[in-house]
Amino acid sequence: MKTLHVLSQIWKSGGVIERDPLDGRLELKNHENVPSEVLKAAEPIFNQIEEWFKSWEDANGIDQTMQKMVHQSCGWQHNPKLNEWICVDVEALTLFMEWQETLAKNGWTDIYEDYRQFENDESNVMKQKLYERAILYANQNK
């Protein structure tokens, strides 16, 4: 099973994976909500899960926003503020869909595959615009 597929199953079950502030290791919170078959699928790919989390540690605000948008649209992790913004800002929603179409043209056809490898200059311009719209919305709605 692909890393993002396992992670999505954990997140959809209510599990939360984050770094322990004391030792820096990944920890699973709400593990009692995660089906045992998902936990069993996660065990053999733990190193891949660790690498995926490490790959996001230095992500800037733009990339973090895009990750949240993808996870929200896939139904993996809910973000009420992001959902409110994207429902109100139809231009942002349209731009997000166009961004996804650009990634699809670049070969991103599986939501369980990390989209970052399919980005290019065109998609980077779009995500910058989306981020600017998100910041504008957040600042207007404090």
Please state the φ and ψ torsions of residue 113, each to the nearest 5 degrees: -110, 135
Q: What is the C-alpha to C-alpha distance for residues 44 and 47, in angstroms, rounded to an integer?
A: 8
The domain locations on the chain are: 3-56, 61-140
d(CA 38, CA 107): 28
**What pLDDT, on the 0 to 100 scale, is given for residue 37?**
97
Q: Mind listing the pLDDT tens digit for each residue in 32-89?
A: 999 999 999 999 999 999 999 999 999 999 999 999 999 999 999 999 999 999 999 9
Looking at residue 118, what DSSP letter applies?
G
Among the residues of the chain, which ranges form H helices? 3-12, 36-42, 46-56, 61-74, 80-88, 90-105, 121-140
Identify the pLDDT of residue 141: 84
